[in-house]
Amino acid sequence: MIDTEKLTKHYYTTSEVAEMFDVSNSLIRYWENEFSSLRPNKNTKGERRFTVKNIEQIALIYHLVKEKGYTLDGAQKEIASKKVYYKERAAVVKKLNQLKTELAELKGTMEKSIG
């Protein structure tokens, strides 16, 4: 799954997002049409600009459809019924990633003071 903590830009193009998930640009656009919650910004030229939140939504869709084998309809129903669950899960994963980083930093500090 994509670690959105490492994303540094405000906006990403369709090509960049497709590359993150190793899927085609057309699949990202198709999912945009199929999932009402996925609405990237568009610039004056009409080019899609995906935020980190959009990428998190795509990560969830990718997980359900590509990894879990859900149909699009099944994924839509799952997202609707589990919205709170997935939001809480994302918060827990974010916190765990923060703790992992802090532990790695602490380990490095301890190794320097011992060595």
Residue 1 has pLDDT above 70, yes or no: no
Residues 48 and 94 in one domain: no
Q: What are phi and psi of 47, to 5 degrees?
A: -80, 135
Q: Are both 113 and 65 inside the same structural domain?
A: no
Per-residue pLDDT of 41-97, as tens digits, reads 999 999 999 999 999 999 999 999 999 999 999 999 998 887 778 788 888 999 999
Q: Looking at the structure, do residues 21 and 69 belong to the same domain, yes or no?
A: yes
Query: Tokens in use for 75?
Result: 């994924």
Tell me: do 27 and 74 sit in the same domain: yes
Token code pair at residue 96: 């765990």
- Are both 112 and 89 inside the same structural domain? yes
Q: What are the tens digits of pLDDT across the range 11-46?
A: 999 999 999 999 999 999 999 999 988 999 999 999
How many other β-carbons are positioned within 10 Å of the β-carbon of residue 9? 11
* Paired tokens of 76: 């839509």
AA identity, residue 62: Y
Are 53 and 105 members of one domain?
Answer: no
- Verify that 76 and 87 share a domain, yes or no: no
Q: Which of the residue ranges 4-8, 48-52, 101-105 would you say has the lowest mean pLDDT?
A: 4-8
What pLDDT is attached to residue 115?
67
Q: How many domains does the chain have?
A: 2
Residues 26 and 74 occupy one common structural domain:
yes
Parent domain of 31: 1-81
